Amino acid sequence: MILSELKQYLRQRGQVTLADVMHHFDVDENVARDMLAVWMHKGKVQRLQAGASCGSSCSQCDPMATEIYVWGAHAEGRRFLRPDCGSH
């Protein structure tokens, strides 16, 4: 089943973008989000919140590359900023 494959993929990588999931499983963004939502509902996956300027200052990053999901509860309260954000 694809949900168990997603679980294994997330556990191996620890952190993935929406684009990673879409490409790895060859699905569109809605299907990828729906699959991730199952694990989020179970409390196994968390979506990281973008840092203050990520996605708002330059608007050149692909939104699916800044939508990041993390396996496990260790992500709670974490924020991210893409390393290349602000360098455009």
Domain ranges of the chain: 2-80
Q: Can you tell me the mean pLDDT for 16-38?
A: 95
Does the structure show a pLDDT above 80 at 61? no
Q: Can you tell me the mean pLDDT for 68-87?
A: 58
pLDDT band at residue 22 under the 50/70/90 scheme: very high
- Gap between the Cα atoms of 25 and 77, Å rounded: 28
SS3 79: strand
- Gap between the Cα atoms of 57 and 27, Å rounded: 29
- Gap between the Cα atoms of 32 and 29, Å rounded: 5
- Gap between the Cα atoms of 37 and 57, Å rounded: 28
Report yes or no on whether pTM surpasses 0.85: no
Question: Residue 82 has what pLDDT?
Answer: 43
- Gap between the Cα atoms of 36 and 45, Å rounded: 7
Question: Residue 66 has what pLDDT?
Answer: 74
* Domain topology for 2-80: Arc Repressor Mutant, subunit A (1.10.10)
